[in-house]
Amino acid sequence: MTELDEVIAYKFIYLAVVIIVAFVIQMIATRAIKRVFSVTNVPKGSIFVNLATGLIWFLALLAVLEPVFGVQPTAFVAALGVVSVAVSFGLQNTVSNVISGLGLMLGHVIEVGDWIEVGAYQGVITDITWRATTIKTLIGDVIVIPNSVLNTTTLRKMCDLSARSFVIPLDIHPEADMAEVERDVRASVEKACADYIDPALGVILVEMGYGTFGFRLDVRVSVKSLDDLLAARSAAVAAVSGRSWLARW
């Protein structure tokens, strides 16, 4: 074996060892982070695993630069700094998403498992990555929202009771007897949703005053489980539809 072959073999072995060590450290770090999640109040989310993985492989890259590629790590870092300035404008959204995600989690604003409402979207948080937050709606849709949007938009973090409730807005004919309407609404909804309603809360009627089409009446129904929400809503809507006292439907 020539001297050149020995150098190439050495570089190959060194590179392979560094990759294996980095991979092992990544596995250990991932398990350690998950263990921290399970025994502390540190919010769960893959963003921490993503950042730790990125740091480990960046250090691994620095470790092989000079022995394998003949590049000084200090020169590489300096060049990387120059390049990062050049591409910073293109990475503004990415950096904003990372910082926003860390701020939201470390500030305990949101965590995996929380029910949130952002604009027209409502669902449970299934993951928070370095770029975006993923929520799953009741009907199974998966919504991906950039972390920077969550950090700059009004976000509603719903309690369990709020998540298990829904509201049906009704426009009542101006000439209808409100006392009779409320009795009819309560009896109809309670009968239709008897299998779903939370007995401690039941049906709550809230008079909202006059609107464009008549008197506004909000019907709030609380159910026992999130699994009952869609079925209860469908049953409640069917129970009050087509009534003569409705101004419109």
Amino acid at 224: K
Asked whether residue 176 is assigned to any structural domain, the reply reads yes
> What are 168-204's pLDDT values in tens digits?
999 998 888 999 999 999 999 999 999 999 988 889 9
Question: Is residue 130 within 8 Å of 51, Cβ to Cβ?
Answer: yes
Asked whether residue 94 is assigned to any structural domain, the reply reads no
Asked whether residue 51 is assigned to any structural domain, the reply reads yes
Asked whether residue 248 is assigned to any structural domain, the reply reads no
Number of domains in the chain: 3
Q: How many helices (H) and strands (E) are present in the chain, helices listed first?
A: 8, 8
> What are 111-170's pLDDT values in tens digits?
888 889 888 888 899 988 878 899 998 888 899 999 888 888 888 888 877 888 999 999
Asked whether residue 28 is assigned to any structural domain, the reply reads yes
pLDDT (0 to 100) of residue 191: 94
Q: Which of 108, 246, 113 is nearest to 175 (CA)?
A: 246
Of 87, 114, 144, the domain-final residue: 87
How far apart CA 50 and CA 105 sit, in angstroms, is 14
- Pair (23, 45) in one structural domain: yes
Pseudo-torsion of CA 2, 7, 11, 14, nearest 10°?
A: 90
Domain limits at 139?
A: 103-158
Of 87, 120, 144, the domain-final residue: 87
CB atoms within 10 A of CB 183: 12
The DSSP H or E segment spanning 166 is strand 165-172
Q: In what order do the strands lie in the sheet with 132-136?
A: 142-146, 132-136, 121-128, 115-118, 155-158
Asked whether residue 134 is assigned to any structural domain, the reply reads yes
- Pair (120, 167) in one structural domain: no
Asked whether residue 116 is assigned to any structural domain, the reply reads yes
pLDDT surpassing 90 at residue 2: no
> What are 37-54's pLDDT values in tens digits?
666 665 666 777 777 888
> Could you tell me if residue 247 is left (phi over 0), alpha (psi between -120 and 50 degrees) or otherwise beta?
alpha
> What are 76-126's pLDDT values in tens digits?
666 666 555 555 555 667 777 877 887 887 777 888 888 898 888 888 999
Tokens read off for 79: 């060049």
Quick check: helix, strand or coil at residue 242?
A: coil
User: How many residues in total does the chain contain?
Assistant: 249
CB atoms within 10 A of CB 189: 23
- Pair (80, 128) in one structural domain: no
pLDDT surpassing 80 at residue 211: no
Asked whether residue 249 is assigned to any structural domain, the reply reads no
Cβ-based burial of 85 (10 A; exposed 0-12, middle 13-18, buried ≥19): exposed
33's CB contacts (< 8 A; 6+ apart) are 48, 49, 52
Q: Which of 203, 136, 199 is nearest to 167 (CA)?
A: 203
- List the CATH number of the domain containing 117: 2.30.30.60
